[in-house]
Amino acid sequence: MTKKEYPSWVLSHKSKGTEIREMGGRYYLYQVSAFWDKDKKKSRKKTGCLLGRITEQGLVLSKARLHADRVGKISILESGMSEYIYAENADILSALTKYFPTDGKTLFLLSLFRLAYQSPLKNMAFYYEHSFMREVLSGVKLGKNDLTTLLKAVGNQRATISACMKSLMGNPSYVLIDQTHIISLSEQMDCNRLGYNSQRVFEPQVNLLSIFSPVHKIPLYYRMLAGDIRETKALKLTVEASGLQEAIVIGDKGFYSQTNVANLTAEGLDYILPIRRSHTLCDYTCISTSDKQSFDGYFFFEERIIWYKAYQKEAHQLILFLDTRLKEQEQKDYLLRIKKDPNPESQAPLIEKNKPDILGIETETKEVTELETIAQGEKKPHTLAKFYDRQHLMGTITLEYSLKKMKTPEEIFNYFKSRNEIENTYDAYKNILEADATYMQGQTQMETWSFINFLALIMYFRIYKKLLDKDLLKKFAPKDILLFLEHIKKLKINDQWVQAEITQKSQKILDLLRI
């Protein structure tokens, strides 16, 4: 068999200083070199060591080369994960290089490595040197002094950061707005002030107010606030700064109060807020019997039947919803409380109540209505008499709303349920990126660090959205995808980059995502 008869996927690995050999129907790549034969007075070929076996998936390194891959003329770099993130977020790189011509590539790489490895600044140079990104985005300096200069330079350009975020927004139909906290013990920042957080811990913190698109499953905008700010005016200013038109404040039952409602109304903000079941605005007349004719109608939500009744009371626009499946769950929950503990007085709650954060907005990722059962809203002991007295309240939720554009009860219910999406955002921010605390020593550095994490969060949720669209979230989390792709390498053999072997698991991921 001549060289020309080799398959193209075999010849693609041939480079200067190498030779292809076929043995037993398999193809192997060897190092070769030339030397001068004094006796025969001519140049001769010298075969060196085996580099590896060539397959259609790539080059499978020999064991000898695996131990010597970082010496000589062969090097190995991670490529699968970083090239995937690079390809899927080309618009982010383009926006960064437009708004930050000097630092755009650096900001992109820092965000990539935050997503991939949750890397602190001190390790960024290491990951860069071991990633194929050093070839794709070459010449980026990630030394300590370089990053210190970048943190100060970018952090002083809040208006430019804002413009960059706006350029990535697109045209969302509506957005949600919420707030979380980040612990900071720095003594050189003015915005990390003492304030209570969702864990009822009183310590220095920075509040991070975020805008999220539940339709596109992606964060759109963020703004840092001082840790002791509680006013609803901050919500208004953030919406104005983002330039978005239809933003809806969706709170929880801990946020609801006449003062907050009045403030939201005064600021002209749209809102959807749940009311505690014991509130005087709640009207349960239509569910006092099992007859559903008193309701206005019903719709399906995630294969559950939701009945609804719209009404107005004391100038408040309200809708009562009855979730039949939730009603069964809460009845079972209450009866189990009675049964499991023979001493009701010592019985602990089966489900811990959510605790409001600085704006009164809860941070649990579970649905609010599924967490607040009748059993949580009353004093112990739980008795059958109390069950009979309150059974008609189970499975209900009452929402007060104020919307400039009229929405159907089904749309309002879906908007409220989409609150879980922004809770997922904060969960990813704190647990995936591990950004729930910061060691930044200045406010400008903190601004840059928040921007980098925000970009990493967008990258994360783009993977999440792709898995969701392909119905793969039950099998894989975004971190799983990154882990499998991380094992895809590129080899540089005699100044030529070639694709290394790909494991079956990694190949399966590529096929599922059509990469």
Listed residue (252, 250, 231, 248) closest to 239, CA to CA: 248
pLDDT at 402: 94
Q: According to the model, what pLDDT value does residue 230 have?
A: 56
For the chain, how big is the Rg over CA atoms in Å? 30
pLDDT, residue 19, reads 86
Q: In the prediction, which pLDDT does 4 show?
A: 55
Q: Which position has the token pair 């100044």?
A: 495
d(CA 47, CA 356): 71
Q: For residues 248 and 177, is the Cβ–Cβ distance under 8 A?
A: yes
CB-CB contact of 407 with 415 (8 Å): yes
Give the SS3 label for residue 278.
coil
Q: Please give the helix or strand (H or E) that residue 11 lies within, else none.
A: helix 8-11
What residues contact residue 63 under an 8 Å CB cut-off, 6+ apart? none
DSSP characters over 286-347: GGSSS-GGGSSEEEEETTEEEEEEEEEETTEEEEEEEEHHHHHHHHHHHHHHHHH-S-GGGP
For the chain, which residues make up each domain, given as ranges?
A: 3-75+490-512, 80-163+447-469, 169-441
> Dihedral of CA 311/313/316/319: which sign?
negative
* CB 154 within 8 Å of CB 446: no
- Strand locations in 198-296 (E): 202-213, 218-226, 247-250, 270-275
CA-wise closest residue to 322 among 301, 350, 351: 301
φ, ψ of residue 458 in degrees (nearest 5): -60, -45
Give the span between the Cα atoms of 487 and 475, in whole angstroms: 19
Note the CATH architecture for domain 169-441: Alpha-Beta Complex (3.90)
Point out which residues pair with 43 in neighbouring strands. 36
Along the 515 residues of the chain, how does pLDDT read in single tens digits? 445 578 888 888 887 788 888 888 888 888 888 877 777 778 878 787 788 888 887 887 765 555 444 434 567 899 999 999 999 999 999 999 999 999 999 999 999 999 999 999 999 999 999 999 999 999 999 999 999 999 999 999 999 999 999 999 988 877 887 766 554 434 444 444 444 444 444 455 677 788 888 888 888 998 887 645 555 778 888 888 888 878 888 887 778 888 889 988 988 889 999 999 989 999 999 887 778 899 999 999 988 999 999 999 988 999 999 998 999 999 898 888 887 755 544 444 444 444 333 333 333 334 434 334 444 444 567 788 888 888 888 999 999 999 988 889 999 999 898 877 767 776 776 777 765 555 666 788 889 998 999 999 999 999 999 998 998 988 888 999 999 899 899 988 777 888 887 888 888 888 888 87
Tracing tokens 């409220």 back to the chain, one arrives at 416
